[in-house]
């Protein structure tokens, strides 16, 4: 087997891997990028971009049907499923093509195709054709869909989001399992494109929300449009010819139904692609899920003896924050540290920001209500403000006046801590709030910023005013909060 000796080996050529390669190359010319599958990131092939293409088509159909509310008569709205999927694939392939074009900037001799597996802590066997010895190694292998074993009975009727974007036409019906980000985005889009739909969940979770008030508002709103049960009682799943049968207890009643669907869409999460790397040969400490333990600021893994390792892990492979902007940031940090190893630098991590492109949109900024309550709740340091979109002027004008936002601040300091948002176009407000949180602004400073009229952001101002009114400010409050400390 041919031997390659390099300074840095990167396993995975997705968003994190590509970012790591560019950062590592600033330190060494001896860097190789190893990819076991097709080039082209998860975002471009089966994630962010194709899902937004489906959502855009669904939004067009929905707006046409809803035009009557403005006094605009649109008759005979017809969805051409084949045309929808054809455009999706064409534009998706364009995005993938852009990624592939960027790959051409990486010298061919620095790219190796094949599945990598650790033979020892510094040696990787790539397929059956190359052995790579590296001073440092970066794991950036991404993730793949996962589902409970009980879904296997659906056979060829079981699909994931990876499969949806290969459809040549839209199905007549789909049972979606998992009301998380993927399930809600694809589920609502399919419904608006005329696909009969039911969404089933377990345990009551809905999207990214942890604040019960926001979650309940979102659940009620979505149920006005399509059936969703975040804590469903599903009794049986069966394969029946070219369909799948789902037997379930109807939400809000004790009646049991058996319904036939063309497909069962499993949107029940993703698992990191680390189980085929031979990590038992890498000498790394692993968590209960088999994922290497690592420092989130340096992305450096730890050895089984708890010493720091020469191996780094970035992106979806570490299962921390499976978002493109986080993968890009983590890749850069890992690549930089792998290049300067054994010297390390703590990379700057931005405040958490997540957006779900349903309608209304969902967004979270900061650690979320549950984590903040856990961190500060012992001494009642957490202040909460809220605002509804039901009577917000611009939202009423647009006939999109649905949703609720909850904003969090710290008593004493008045500092803004985060938010959970459900409402029209909150992707933009979420960015404003993330920037404010990154700058450690107080609620008072945020309210002093300019606010135009009439805009949706005036709803945000209402929420901040409500939060400001609930804040208890002053040195005595601050001192008491500081005395409590995290977790007290």
pLDDT at 243: 97
Same domain, yes or no: 202 and 284 = no
In a domain, residue 345? The reply is no
pLDDT at 100: 82
pLDDT at 486: 44
Helices and strands of the chain, counted as H and E runs? 14, 23
pLDDT at 381: 80
Same domain, yes or no: 155 and 22 = no
pLDDT at 482: 55
164: domain CATH number? Answer: 3.50.50.60
Average pLDDT over residues 351-360: 95
The overall average pLDDT reported for the chain is 92
pLDDT at 481: 56
Total domain count, the chain: 3
In a domain, residue 103? The reply is yes
Q: Which residue, of 237, 268, 299, is where some domain finishes?
A: 268
Strands of the sheet with 404-410, listed across from one edge: 353-356, 361-365, 416-423, 404-410, 382-388
pLDDT tens for 254-312 read: 899 999 999 999 999 889 999 999 999 999 999 999 999 999 999 999 999 989 999 99
Question: Domain range spanning residue 455?
Answer: 353-484
Same domain, yes or no: 74 and 125 = yes
463: domain CATH number? Answer: 3.30.390.30
Same domain, yes or no: 141 and 158 = no
Spatial separation of the C-alpha atoms in residues 177 and 198, rounded to whole Å: 9
pLDDT at 454: 96
| Strand ranges inside 70-152, DSSP E | 111-113, 116-120, 123-126, 130-139, 143-145
Cα dihedral 456, 462, 463, 468 in deg (nearest 10): 150
Spatial separation of the C-alpha atoms in residues 304 and 282, rounded to whole Å: 9
In a domain, residue 347? The reply is no
Q: Which residue, of 268, 298, 318, is where some domain finishes?
A: 268
In a domain, residue 346? The reply is no
Spatial separation of the C-alpha atoms in residues 204 and 216, rounded to whole Å: 10
Asked if the model's pLDDT at residue 181 lies above 50, the reply is yes
Bridge partners of 313? 139
Same domain, yes or no: 330 and 432 = no
Asked if the model's pLDDT at residue 342 lies above 50, the reply is yes
Q: Which residue, of 233, 268, 303, is where some domain finishes?
A: 268
């Amino acid at each position: 087997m041919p031997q390659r000796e390099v300074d840095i080996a990167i396993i995975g050529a997705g968003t994190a891997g590509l970012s790591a390669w560019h950062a590592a190359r600033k330190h060494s010319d001896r860097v190789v990028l190893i990819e076991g599958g097709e080039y082209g990131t998860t975002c471009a092939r089966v994630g962010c971009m194709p899902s937004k293409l489906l959502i855009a088509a669904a939004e067009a159909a929905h707006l046409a049907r809803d035009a009557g509310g403005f006094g605009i008569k649109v008759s005979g709205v017809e969805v051409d499923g084949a045309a929808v999927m054809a455009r999706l694939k064409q534009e998706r392939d364009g995005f993938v093509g852009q990624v592939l074009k960027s790959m051409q900037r990486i010298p061919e001799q620095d790219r190796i195709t094949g599945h990598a597996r650790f033979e020892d802590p510094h040696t990787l066997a790539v397929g059956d054709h190359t052995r790579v010895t590296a001073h440092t190694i970066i794991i950036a292998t991404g993730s793949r869909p996962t589902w409970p074993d009980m879904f296997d009975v659906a056979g060829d009727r079981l699909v994931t989001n990876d499969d949806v974007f290969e459809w040549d036409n839209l199905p007549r019906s789909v049972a979606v399992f998992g009301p998380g980000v993927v399930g809600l985005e694809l589920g609502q889009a399919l419904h608006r494109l005329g696909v009969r739909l039911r969404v089933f969940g377990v345990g009551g979770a809905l999207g990214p929300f942890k604040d019960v008030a926001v979650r309940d508002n979102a659940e009620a709103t979505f149920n006005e449009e399509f059936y969703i049960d975040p804590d469903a009682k599903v009794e049986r799943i069966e394969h029946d010819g070219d369909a799948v049968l789902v037997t379930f207890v109807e939400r809000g009643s004790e009646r049991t139904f058996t319904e036939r669907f063309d497909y069962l869409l499993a949107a029940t999460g993703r698992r990191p692609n680390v189980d085929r790397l031979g990590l038992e040969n890498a000498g790394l400490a692993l968590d209960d899920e088999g994922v290497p333990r690592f420092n989130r600021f340096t992305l450096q893994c730890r050895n089984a003896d708890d010493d720091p390792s020469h191996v780094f892990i970035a992106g979806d492979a570490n299962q921390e924050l499976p978002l493109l902007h986080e993968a890009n940031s983590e890749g850069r940090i890992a690549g930089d540290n792998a290049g300067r190893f054994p010297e390390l630098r703590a990379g700057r991590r931005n405040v958490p920001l997540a957006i779900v492109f349903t309608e209304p949109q969902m967004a979270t900024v900061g650690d979320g209500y549950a984590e903040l309550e856990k961190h500060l709740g012992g001494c009642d340091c957490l202040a909460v403000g809220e605002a509804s979109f039901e009577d917000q002027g611009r939202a009423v004008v647009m006939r999109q006046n649905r949703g609720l936002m909850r904003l969090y601040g710290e008593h004493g300091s008045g500092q803004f801590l985060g938010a959970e948002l459900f409402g029209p176009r909150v992707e933009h407000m979420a960015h404003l709030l993330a920037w404010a949180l990154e700058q450690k602004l107080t609620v008072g400073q945020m309210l002093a910023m300019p606010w135009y009229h009439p805009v949706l952001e005036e709803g945000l101002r209402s929420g901040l005013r409500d939060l400001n009114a609930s804040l208890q400010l002053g040195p005595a409050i601050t001192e008491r909060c500081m005395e409590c400390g995290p977790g007290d």
